Amino acid sequence: MTVDDPGGRPGRDTAAARPRDRPRSRASQSDLERYAGLFAERTRNMRSSAMRDLMALTQRPEVISLAGGLPDTTLFPAEELAKHLSVVAAEAGARALQYAPTEGLSEVKRAIREVLRAEGDDADPEDVLVTTGGQQVIDLVCKTLVNPGDVVVAEAPTYPGAVPAFAAYEADVVQIAMDADGLRVDALEERLDALGAEGRSPKFIYTIPNFQNPAGVTLSLPRRRRLVEVARERELLILEDNPYGLLRFEGAPLPTLRSLDGGEFVISLGTFSKILSPGLRLGWAVAPRPVLSKMNIGKAASDLNSSSLTQLFVATFFRDGDWRGYVAKQCALYRARRDVMLASLEEHFPPGATWTRPEGGLFLWVTLPDGLDTTDLLAKALSRNVAFVPGRAAYLDGRGGASLRLNFSGVGEDDIREGVRRIGAVVHEQIELLDRLTGRRPAAPAPAEALSPAPDPTLADVLELRRRAPDPRRPQRGSSSP
């Protein structure tokens, strides 16, 4: 293909050539074929994040989205934002507009240290890499450690946003069951033994110990201790993803895995996204130095450095503002919203549905009675202007069909009540339909729309969720529902 090949010029996706209802960013099959010969092997495994796809669908103001992972940024006073930004402009305008060292500015590392200390951890600034959100840490850890086919251990379910990163680096992800106390470390050990018998060892164990996304559960102290011991005994790295540790509404704080380990086998991921603002796109990694220096090189290749402007904003806010007060305000708000969501679930969800009761964070995880599929339910829910994340988004192998993730931080109490009511109504309808079809309920003519729900073209187009059944050769101990 030459630059001026009239038959297939890249970038010529004119409105006339594009189906009218397809968003500009979505490539059609014929577009893909046109470029297919150029794609690297790894793109075959790449998949988009169901969460981000959903975000595009739920931008419409009439949709109540319980799908996002959004902190409530309206809580941050506009005057405070303006004040700190003008301090940055006055004190360090030229630096804010300049490149910065890849590892990050020393001022923001001081702020990171304060956050670490608030959780009973600490780090030498030399061991910290400032990143473009926590998401970049997941990407850099994979970039640094994972060859195609390498094993990565994750929780079942896992953070839906990590799924595309694991897929892009062609990791063989082994998901280990959780329960109310978080990752089942006993199941992990069994699985590590089984992998060891095949001569395989994971490159790292990915865990979200506090108010897990999506499950909302927290790793208990005995399990934290045992997990760190397991890593040390077997010389395995842990990636401790901890965006939510400070968003605790009740119960006693627990030590981080990194503080229990001393930093030899734990890479920790932190972020300002949930305690301050995701729009800043600022996070960090603390890692053993040899690993950190490779991650630093990987980061320089990706984006040279994270925004100097937002680094200086955060540093100024931490110096002059009340970041702890802001976190406390968020906790109070989210706690009230969580309680509303729990009460609404009691009111509107059927017997047989179960859900977690998080002590902090942004999410809870609902598991529906057998036979229901939340990917199908989402299509119906969206037609009633309400959204959630279907459970399959949190698995790499097609499991999770009976579950869904609900977010309670991003919308107000009235919308939580109404959103849960609408989802509950859809669930009840689906159960009735299922009962009729299986003869558990006297046959009454089912509404035609319910028997063969019209496929939602937009949803089908954007949600790439696998429907493959779990691989029977892979033993999965325990249930997937935490």
Binding site for ligand PLP (CB under 6 A): 69, 133-135, 159, 161, 208, 213, 241, 243, 271, 273, 278, 283
Nearer to ligand PLP, 216 or 419 (CB): 216
Q: Which is nearer to ligand PLP, 342 or 389 (CB)?
A: 389
What is the smallest separation between the CB atom of 412 and ligand PLP, expressed in angstroms? Answer: 20
Closest distance to ligand PLP from the beta carbon of 243 (Å): 5
Write the DSSP string, 163-192. Answer: HHHHHHTT-EEEEEEEETTEE-HHHHHHHH
**Residues 48 and 164 sit within 8 Å (Cβ to Cβ):** yes
Q: Which residue number, 164 or 283, has a Cβ lying nearer to ligand PLP?
A: 283
Shortest-Cβ-distance residue relative to ligand PLP? 133
How far, CA to CA in Å, does 361 sit from each of 218, 247, 267, 408? 10, 5, 21, 9
Work out the angle at residue 390's Cα, subtended by the Cα atoms of residues 359 and 439, and round it to the nearest 5 degrees.
Answer: 110
Closer Cβ to ligand PLP, 157 or 283, answer by number? 283
| Encoded tokens for 438 | 């299986």
Closest contact distance (angstroms) between CB of 52 and ligand PLP is: 11
Least spacing, CB of residue 237 vs ligand PLP, in Å:
17
Shortest distance (Å) from residue 49 CB to ligand PLP: 10
- Environment class of 262 (CB within 10 Å of its CB; exposed 0-12, middle 13-18, buried 19+): exposed
Nearer Cβ to ligand PLP (278/298)? 278
Nearest distance in Å: CB 59, ligand PLP = 17
The pair of structure tokens assigned to 187 is: 């199941």
Q: In this structure, what is the dihedral angle of CA atoms 369, 372, 375, 381, given to the nearest 10 degrees?
A: -90
Residue 225: C-alpha distances to residues 216, 231, 243, 255, 476 (Å): 20, 10, 20, 10, 23
Instruction: Considering the complex, state which of residue 156 and residue 353 has its C-beta at the smaller distance from ligand PLP.
Output: 156
Shortest separation between residue 432's beta carbon and ligand PLP, angstroms: 35
- Of 211 and 349, the one with the shorter C-beta distance to ligand PLP is 211
What backbone phi and psi angles, to 5 degrees, belong to 415? -70, -35
Task: Please state the length of the chain.
Answer: 482
